[in-house]
Amino acid sequence: MKKIIAADHIDKAFGQGIERRKVLNGVSVSISGGEFVSVMGPSGSGKSSLLFAVSGMDTVDGGQVLFDGRELGALKENELADLRRTQMGFVFQQPTLMKNMNLLDNIILPSLRDNRRNVKAITEKARQLMSKTGIAGLEKRDITQVSGGQLQRAGICRALMSSPQILFGDEPTGALNQEAAEGIMSLFADINETGTAVMLVTHDARIAARTGRILFMCDGQIVSELRLPKFRGTELEGRMEQVVTRMRELGI
Amino acid sequence: MYYRIIRGDLRAGKLITLTTLLFVTAAAMLVSLSAILTVNLAGAIDTLMTQAKTPHFMQMHSGELDRARLTAFAEQNGKVDEFQVLEFVNVENARIIIGGKSLADNVQDNGFSTQSSMFDYLLDLDGKAVIPADGELYVPIAYMKDGTAKTGDTAVIAGKEWTVAGFLRDSQMNSLLASSKRFLVSEHDYTAIQASGSTEYLIEFRLKELSMLGAFKNDYTSAGLEANGPSITYPLFKMLNAMSDGLMIAIILLVSLLVVAVAFMCIRFTLLATIERDTREIGVMKAIGLRVSDIKKLYLVKYAGIAALGCALGYALSLVFRGMLLDNIRLYMGGNEKASLTLLLGLGGAVLVFLAITGYVNRVLGRFRRISAAEAVRFGTTQDKSGGARQLRLSANRLLNTNIFLGVKDVLARKSLYVTMLAVIIIAAFVITVPRNLYNTIAAKSFITYMGVGNSDLRLDIQQTDNIAAKAAEVTAVMEKDPSISRYAVLTTESFTVLKEDGAEERIKIELGDHSVFPVKYAKGRAPDAGHEIALSVMNADELGKQTGDVITLKSGGQSLNLTVCGIYSDVTNGGKTAKAAFASQAADVMWSVIYAELVDKTLTGGIAEKYADRFSFAKVSGVDEYVAQTFGPTISSVGTASRVAIVMMLLISVLVTVLFMRLLVAKDRYPIAVMKSLGFTNADLRVQYFARAAAVLAAGIVLGTILANTLGERLAGALIGSFGAASFEFVADPLAAYLFSPLMLACPVLIATIIGTSGTGHITISGHIKE
Ligand SMILES: Nc1ncnc2c1ncn2[C@@H]1O[C@H](COP(=O)(O)OP(=O)(O)O)[C@@H](O)[C@H]1O
Ligand SMILES: [Mg+2]
């Protein structure tokens, strides 16, 4: 499989003067097409920062990131925006939907920027995605009129509209109850099944155990990596056991 | 905790904090100033009216007067404390010449009287009731203010010479709104001048108690005493005195309201942004059991600080500036510095602003109540009540570019947010358009016919000389033979007495001659023909209560003459009170003559004017353009200046408010902006969205402002011009200027300001706002 992301010794620090703290410390990681990766680690270990760095949403101070062979640091802001819109999808813990718009409008919003003429085709695609993700019929609902899980599904629909190469999720299940979280996780698995790479940040072993490759982070570095066979929906307890054991070994 | 919130806030919006401080300071200064002015004005009026012993009730009267009957009434009436009848000689303005210039164009009725012995004193600038020596003239203070007279000037009144010895404060007629002015002369001089004008009586009473005024008025009316003229009471005198400075105070208060509104806008935006940012913390604080009032206090501290600092600064500034604004009051009414009270009330004004600001902050913070811990955790932001615009769906939009659509939709969805900017644009469009249209209108050549001046090329004035009629004939004899003159007309102004319905008499100036040669604009009817017709100026028609078709009776050399009113026209010359007729007169009382002429070749006006001026030294010769420039030039140019000042001021304010508004909006919208960016919208996309918002507000504001200007504004301007005697006013607007250039002139700076104001979108990082 071809490499989508190749990060090489990236550094990132926040703050000024004595408050300056290194958040990423020479991290290298690569993700290939169709992979299902999760990033685990304690709060503040730099998981989100890694995700933002490899997706070009934030700049890096040192090292370089290749996305689909292009160096992100060399791209202009507009080119980065274009990449985000056409090649990547994002889902965050907070469903970042726009107020004053119904679910359907929220989902088609980024696609309409380039392709206003195809409104019909775009809307059709959005409806298909909505029924695939289990929120068919909620098109006209306001974002305050649906549940958190439904909002998150709408966010996923929006992210999938451009058929991205990779879907990033920063604790996408963090604000959901277990049942809703498991629903979302199987959705991610389904999406991954169709060939889209997925990179999830989480600190929940239950979630990480469903992915095929787990990166463990601590103090701005990837300290370990665990590969698991494809999850078929049956052996979850055993996989969780492995993850937890590894975490205990690492002291996190 | 306090420290963290305050520091975080101040850092996040140094500019906005500073602007808020600035506007609070300005508001406090203005409110404090108006408080100071109000106290001083009230005090000064009281002092003046006490020193002058202003009458509690005054009846003006012209015609016969039965002194004995009045005295008997005053003695019998238990409410009367003092009573007197003052005389007042009204002299034709053209016959009053001060420092070589006549008051012919003055709008006031000017009259002469002697110092009263009992009350209603005319005071000099030291507050003393002066008694002039023979040959000394004391002049109303208003004429010192407008430069008509200086101490030491020579005054010629009805042929007799005086020296201006000083100036007067008149507790009754100080204000320019009172249409009469009293000059003071010695008893001896008064007798000499008495025959040169018409005598009016001021029947004056001071009561034992002012509260008896209502009852006394009834007593006076029911006694059937002299009452040919207006009656004025103490409270009305007070109001007249308070009016012009009161107006200034009202304007200052109005401006301070505007300033407070802008300060509120700043506060609202910063607070909303802060609340949005801190929603989760606030939710948590609520969850752990802190009361809303406790949480409010944390945020209130910062604004109380800003408000306190601003109000203190504003108060200090008001003390610096008060001198400037008090000058006028000091001049007209004398100093009245109750220093401690002034300082206290000024402080009161500043405190009021402080309370208003903190009260407002407290109200905005009431939103805390609406933040539920659950919602805060789920959305991370508060949910604005989204108003409408739900029917505007992206999925249904085929028309607009997506970014523009988003901008317009946002304006419609959050109307209340954009109201401030909309209001500013409406006001700006209005204030730019009205003076500009007014200026265009009065500067147009056709406008002079509105003002009572015929549309001719040359004008010869013959006045202040004797044998006017013969001299006019001399001139016309030459004009008749002059090939360079195509037409001319002689208009002779004479003074007549009009018999009013109630039998009273009034002097009226009538311009006699052929009015069809160089017609003026008639608001109603037409020019008088040779027969028994008369046209009245709007002001005279009002005063005499005549309409076209009514009959007027003139007294002329013992005979009476009935004339039908055939037309009503606008006039601003001679104080607006003129009349035109064409009957042959007995040449009884010629005041002046004007000869109008039209030239074959208008380019030669200068040379021909010079020729006639050389030949007829008794005439004042001027080209009409020059005459208009001289007479109305200052007015036109001051309206032009006012219009330019208004344009500059409004553009500055619009630009300032727009930059500020856009910055606040971007600051408030950081989160949705970050989300947009994460979705792959570029900075340029975002700028287009904000540009579309500003353009939508701007378009609505300009359309509304222009409509208002052409309806309400036209009526206001019409009323203003009407008060000088010009009727049936309509804007002469250049449509290209009014509907294209003016809007563009406002739109361009505002849109540029939008670009500047929204440049901050580029600095909003995604990671700073939606990272978990
Ligand atoms: N935009 C930012 N500005 C300043 N500090 C940041 C920013 N993003 C992250 N940090 C800091 O970097 C550290 C790592 O953050 P993050 O990558 O979000 O960790 P994680 O997602 O693993 O919890 C934290 O201490 C956080 O406070
Ligand atoms: Mg994180």
Atom of ligand 1 nearest to the CA of B765: 1
State the average pLDDT for chain B.
82
Q: What does residue A64 show for φ and ψ, rounded to 5 degrees?
A: -145, 155
Instruction: Rank A167-181, B347-361, B572-586 by mean pLDDT and report only the highest.
Output: B347-361
Cα-to-centroid distance, A24 and ligand 2 (Å)? 13
A:B CB pairs within 8 Å: 105
Cα-to-centroid distance, A48 and ligand 2 (Å)? 4
- Test A113 with B403 for CB contact under 8 angstroms: yes
Q: Is the CB of A27 under 6 A from ligand 1?
A: no
Q: Is the CB of A23 under 6 A from ligand 1?
A: yes
Separation CA B610–CA B159 (nearest Å): 29
Count CB-CB contacts under 10 A for residue B609.
Answer: 21
Collapsed DSSP state (helix, strand, coil) of residue B81: strand
Of the bound ligands, which one is closest to the alpha carbon of residue A58?
1
pLDDT at B389: 63
Separation CA B710–CA B731 (nearest Å): 8
Separation CA B453–CA B746 (nearest Å): 36
B384 CB near a chain A CB, below 8 Å? yes
Least confident of A58-62, B334-338, B438-442: B334-338
| Residues with C-beta atoms within 5 A of ion ligand 2 | A 48; B 772
- Test A175 with B377 for CB contact under 8 angstroms: yes
Collapsed DSSP state (helix, strand, coil) of residue B419: helix
CA B105 to chain centre: 21
Residue pLDDT, tens place only, A16-70: 888 888 999 999 999 999 999 999 999 889 999 999 999 988 989 999 999 999 9
Residue pLDDT, tens place only, B251-297: 777 777 777 877 887 787 777 767 776 777 777 777 777 777 888 88
Beta carbons of B439 and B636 less than 8 angstroms apart: yes
Going through B429-537 in order, the beta strands assigned E by DSSP cover 458-463, 485-499, 505-513, 522-525, 533-537
Beta carbons of A161 and A108 less than 8 angstroms apart: yes
Collapsed DSSP state (helix, strand, coil) of residue B599: strand
Separation CA A213–CA A198 (nearest Å): 10
Structure confidence at residue B204 as a pLDDT band (50, 70, 90): very high
A182 CB near a chain B CB, below 8 Å? no
Contacts of B221 (CB under 8 A, 6+ apart): B227
Per residue, what are the HEC states of B605-625? Answer: HHHHHHHHHHHCCCEEEEEHH
Separation CA B275–CA B270 (nearest Å): 9
Q: ∠B683-B685-B686 over CA atoms, to 5°? A: 65
Please state the rounded mean pLDDT for residues A196-209: 91
Q: Is the CB of A14 under 6 A from ligand 1?
A: yes
Checking if the pLDDT of B12 tops 60, the result is no
Q: Between these two residues, B312 and B250, which has the higher pLDDT value?
A: B312
**Which of A97, A99, A141 would you mutate first to test chain B, the one with the most B CBs within 10 A?**
A99
Token reading at B198: 């018409």
Checking if the pLDDT of B519 tops 60, the result is yes
Structure confidence at residue B196 as a pLDDT band (50, 70, 90): confident
**Which of A67, A80, A87, A96 would you mutate first to test chain B, the one with the most B CBs within 10 A?**
A96
Separation CA B254–CA B242 (nearest Å): 17
Contacts of B63 (CB under 8 A, 6+ apart): B226, B228, B504, B505
Residue pLDDT, tens place only, B588-632: 567 788 899 988 888 888 888 888 888 888 888 878 777 777 666
| DSSP assignment string, A184-217 | HHHHHHHHHHTT-EEEEE-S-HHHHTTSSEEEEE
> What number is the ipTM of this complex?
0.90
What is the domain extent for residue A138? 3-250
Q: Which residues pair with A24 in a beta bridge?
A: A12
Which CATH number characterizes residue A79's domain? 3.40.50.300
Q: Which residues of A touch B679 (CB under 8 A)?
A: 84-85, 90, 109-110, 158
Cα-to-centroid distance, A67 and ligand 1 (Å)? 23
Separation CA B97–CA B155 (nearest Å): 6
Residue pLDDT, tens place only, B298-329: 888 888 999 999 999 999 999 888 887 787 77
**Which of B276, B394, B673, B677 would you mutate first to test chain A, the one with the most A CBs within 10 A?**
B394
CA B581 to chain centre: 35
Q: Between these two residues, A15 and B372, which has the higher pLDDT value?
A: A15
Token reading at B186: 């010695």
Please state the rounded mean pLDDT for residues B635-641: 75
Q: Is the CB of B222 under 6 A from ligand 1?
A: no
Helices assigned H by DSSP within B334-414? 339-364, 373-379, 402-413
String of b and e for B725-744 (b: at least 16 CB within 10 Å)?
A: bbbbbebebeeeebeeebbe
Structure confidence at residue B544 as a pLDDT band (50, 70, 90): confident
Cα-to-centroid distance, B633 and ligand 2 (Å)? 74
DSSP label at B243? H
pLDDT at B588: 59
Task: State the DSSP H helix or E strand holding residue A179, giving kind and residue range, or none if neither.
Answer: helix A178-193
pLDDT at B13: 64
Cα-to-centroid distance, B731 and ligand 1 (Å)? 65
- Compare all CA atoms of chain B with the CA of A158 and give the residue at the minimum distance: B679
CA nearest to A139, candidates A122, A118, A164 = A122
Which residue among B377, B378, B680 sits closest to A85, beta carbon to beta carbon? B680
Checking if the pLDDT of B49 tops 60, the result is yes
Least confident of B18-32, B166-180, B386-400, B404-418: B386-400
Q: Is the CB of A152 under 6 A from ligand 1?
A: no
Helix axes B339-364, B234-287, angle to 10 degrees: 40
Residue pLDDT, tens place only, B369-382: 776 655 555 554 44
- Residue having the nearest C-alpha atom to atom 26 of ligand 1: A44
Rounded to a whole number of angstroms, the distance between the first and last alpha carbons of chain B is 23
Contacts of B358 (CB under 8 A, 6+ apart): B300, B303, B304, B307
Least confident of A192-206, B98-112, B142-156, B314-328: B98-112
Q: Is the CB of B770 under 6 A from ligand 1?
A: no
Please state the rounded mean pLDDT for residues A236-244: 91
Collapsed DSSP state (helix, strand, coil) of residue B67: helix
Q: What does residue B217 show for φ and ψ, rounded to 5 degrees?
A: -55, -45
Q: ∠B343-B346-B347 over CA atoms, to 5°? A: 85
Per residue, what are the HEC states of B167-220? Answer: EEEECCCCCCCCCEEEEECCHHHHHHHHHHCEEEEEEEEEECCHHHHHHHHHHH
Residue found under tokens 């040449």:
B587
Per residue, what are the HEC states of B690-756? Answer: HHHHHHHHHHHHHHHHHHHHHHHHHHHHHHHHHCCCCCCCCCCCCHHHHHHHHHHHHHHHHHHHHHH
Instruction: Rank B187-191, B515-519, B549-553 by mean pLDDT and report only the highest.
Output: B187-191
Alpha-carbon torsion (B206, B207, B210, B212), positive or negative? negative
Q: Looking at CA atoms only, how far is residue A164 from chain B in angstroms?
A: 12
State the average pLDDT for chain A.
90
CA nearest to A97, candidates A88, A87, A110 = A110
- Test B378 with A123 for CB contact under 8 angstroms: no
- CA distances B318 to A62, B21, B322, B633, Å, are 57, 16, 6, 36
Residue type, B109: D
Q: Looking at CA atoms only, how far is residue A112 from chain B in angstroms?
A: 7
Atom of ligand 1 nearest to the CA of A43: 23
Q: Is the CB of A220 under 6 A from ligand 1?
A: no
A86 CB near a chain B CB, below 8 Å? yes
- Residue having the nearest C-alpha atom to atom 6 of ligand 1: A14
pLDDT at B7: 53
pLDDT at A100: 81
Checking if the pLDDT of B733 tops 80, the result is no
Atom of ligand 1 nearest to the CA of B771: 18
Q: ∠A87-A89-A94 over CA atoms, to 5°? A: 160
Which residue among B397, B675, B765 sits closest to A96, beta carbon to beta carbon? B675
- Residue having the nearest C-alpha atom to atom 17 of ligand 1: A46
- Residue having the nearest C-alpha atom to atom 9 of ligand 1: A49
Beta carbons of A190 and A119 less than 8 angstroms apart: no
**Total structural domains in chain A?**
1
Residue found under tokens 């992979």:
A35
Token reading at B394: 């992206």
Going through B6-64 in order, the beta strands assigned E by DSSP cover 57-62
**Which of A88, A91, A101 would you mutate first to test chain B, the one with the most B CBs within 10 A?**
A101
Cα-to-centroid distance, A171 and ligand 1 (Å)? 14
CA nearest to A194, candidates A232, A151, A160 = A160
pTM for this structure?
0.70
String of b and e for B417-443 (b: at least 16 CB within 10 Å)?
A: bbebbbbbbbbbbbbbbbbbbbbbbbe
- CA distances B716 to B257, B451, B678, Å, are 22, 18, 53
Q: Is the CB of A4 under 6 A from ligand 1?
A: no
pLDDT at B572: 67
- Test A82 with B380 for CB contact under 8 angstroms: no
DSSP label at B478? H
- With 0-12 / 13-18 / 19 or more C-beta atoms within 10 angstroms meaning exposed / middle / buried, residue B246 is middle
Q: Which residues of B touch A104 (CB under 8 A)?
A: 393, 395
Beta carbons of B211 and B51 less than 8 angstroms apart: no
Atom of ligand 1 nearest to the CA of A15: 4
Report long-range pairs for B711-720 (Cβ below 8 Å, ≥24 apart): B713/B430, B713/B433, B713/B434, B713/B437, B714/B434, B714/B437, B716/B434, B717/B434, B717/B437, B717/B438, B717/B441, B720/B438
Atom of ligand 1 nearest to the CA of A220: 14
Cα-to-centroid distance, A11 and ligand 1 (Å)? 13
A96 CB near a chain B CB, below 8 Å? yes
Q: What does residue A27 show for φ and ψ, rounded to 5 degrees?
A: -85, 130
Going through chain A in order, the beta strands assigned E by DSSP cover 3-14, 21-32, 36-40, 62-67, 70-71, 88-92, 166-170, 197-201, 213-218, 221-227
Cα-to-centroid distance, A198 and ligand 1 (Å)? 22
Which residue among A48, A82, A99 sits closest to B680, beta carbon to beta carbon? A82
Of the bound ligands, which one is closest to the alpha carbon of residue A52?
1
- CA distances B209 to B51, B56, B81, B235, B478, Å, are 17, 9, 9, 13, 69
Residue type, B552: I
Cα-to-centroid distance, B771 and ligand 2 (Å)? 6
